[in-house]
Amino acid sequence: MKLTVFGEATVSLGGQPVPRVPANFLRIVVYLLLVNAGHSVSRGRLSQVLWSDTDQAHASMNLRQSLARIRKFQEQYGLNLIQGDATYVYLNLSQVKAELLSIDLLDYINFARKGDIDSVLGLCELYKGDLLAQNEQQNSDFDEWLDIERVRLRARRQLQYLALREKPCATKDGVPVALHINAGLAVDLPHIEETGAAGIGLFRTELQFMVAASFPRTAEQFGLYRAVLDAAGEKPVTFRTLDIGGDKVLPYMRNVEEENPALGWRAIRLGLDRPGLLRAQVRALLRAGGGRNLRLMFPMVATVEEFDEAKALVERELTHLRRHGHRLPERVDVGTMVEVPSLLYQLDELLERVDFLSVGSNDLVQFFYAADRSNKRVADRFDTLSVPILRALREIIRKAATHDKSVTLCGEMASQPLSALALVAIGYRALSLAPTAVGPVKAMLIELDAGKAAGLLNPLLDSPAGTVSIREKLKAFAAEQGLQV
């Protein structure tokens, strides 16, 4: 029975499509043909190629598992294409179509164009120097092919995501997940419609202050907030009050030198110490929300008392506007960011007071591990998909459920399909992410069985694991389920 490859990672046997092809089957075929010219490759080398972002022990284990699945697949369909022994992996060239056996690089490219294009592009980038040890004409053709395929791949993906825009975001087993976008300026507003997002889960109000030449007046703030609410229509918008200080310095404010600005005088600390600044912003927000529902939250809250003080300021501004005859919001929901680990031990008290929570995963992770995310020496030292972080995130969502309060997670974790998979598995049902990430994350979620993901992840979090990362286990799960992460 002859095997042919066509389209995007689609395999046909005897003219009939094969519904489930094991993860890495085509990647191994393409690597052996495209890079290795049909020669055998050591297991160690192949595992490094396919799992370059993990250690050798895990990569070797992943390769063993992949080859076991491929062996069963080949037995089921009478194939003997990928072969191997204890040391090497190689192709049975007699089962490869004759026209693919040419040593001409361009023939390999033609094969690759019919195969697993995501993997091929990655391999081509990685081994470009080896591939181009031929002549200048082929070099030129190869560069042109790479450029064209990159554009085609992006275009295909954008069309795929565009087709999903109006489709409800729910997992394969029917779990709804609200995907909101992060925004901060008027130029971000068209993304609500373009992405089909459920709303704006994080509006960074400080961006207006950071791009201005002088302190924005209350009227200017009011104008922006009203425009944001108008653009969102019936969709919710969550405004975060000023998160300035630290690394977010306003050019027209006196800069306070601090040895560790990320842990210094910033965000709600600055707002409570300079109440005139916070009151002016809150007043602009309340006026802009007249006749509508308004959601606002405070950043960098470390104690319940800080939230109480900030919410009391909101109540005073509501009283002021009511006294002066201004139209008030129909409803005002007041919440807080969970970014400081101390809140993890005040959740019950906090949840009795707030209307909602928003987890700021970027700051929470760096404070959790005391690892500055802007410091290249330590930024990648701890994995966001480690057991301790996921346990903490799961505790937040479980506590909130007992108090019947909603939780959204915003941060880089929400914008990465693999991390989003983990978040949904542990119970998150609302994410706020970069507009460009809505398509990829949504495409993954609608193919995800959330129940299966939870069945994998929760036992791992319940077992003694230290600081172990479970990234590779999640990748293996995604590959088995055919998820794009």
Kindly report, residue by residue over 363-373, the tens digit of the pLDDT. 999 999 988 87
**What residue ranges do the domains of the chain occupy?**
3-162, 167-481
61-115 pLDDT, tens digit each: 888 888 888 888 888 777 777 888 778 887 765 555 433 333 333 334 444 443 3
Neighbours of 98 (CB within 10 A): 8
pTM: predicted TM-score of the whole model, two decimal places: 0.71
**pLDDT interval class at 204 (50, 70, 90):** very high
Q: What percent of the chain has pLDDT over 90?
A: 50
Residues paired with residue 11 on neighbouring β-strands, in sequence order: 5
Neighbours of 470 (CB within 10 A): 19
Report pLDDT for 20. 62
Report pLDDT for 123. 44
Give the dihedral of Cα atoms 26, 30, 33, 34; nearest 10 deg: 180
What is the sign of the dihedral through the CA atoms of 61, 65, 68 and 73? Answer: negative
91 or 196: which leads in pLDDT: 196
Residue linked to tokens 């425009």: 227
Report pLDDT for 138. 44
Provide the token pair at 79: 């194939």
Q: Supply the angle between the helices 56-77 and 471-481 in degrees, to the nearest 10.
A: 20
Provide the token pair at 42: 């050591």
The rounded distance, in Å, linking the Cα atoms of 340 and 300 is 6
Report pLDDT for 398. 98
**Which of 102-106, 217-221, 315-319 shows the lowest mean pLDDT across its residues?**
102-106
372-400 pLDDT, tens digit each: 877 778 777 889 999 999 999 999 999 99
35 or 82: which leads in pLDDT: 82
Tell me the range of 25-39, 125-139, 412-426 where mean pLDDT is highest.
412-426
Total residues found in the chain within this entry: 485
- Whether 22 has a pLDDT exceeding 90, the answer reads no
- Whether 314 has a pLDDT exceeding 70, the answer reads yes
Of 268, 265, 242, 263, nearest to 255 (Cα)?
265
**pLDDT interval class at 412 (50, 70, 90):** very high
Of 327, 395, 324, nearest to 357 (Cα)?
395
- Whether 218 has a pLDDT exceeding 70, the answer reads yes
Q: Give CATH for domain 167-481.
A: 3.20.20.60
Of 227, 180, 233, nearest to 205 (Cα)?
227
Q: How far is CA 62 from CA 24, 46, 74, 126, in A?
A: 10, 11, 18, 20
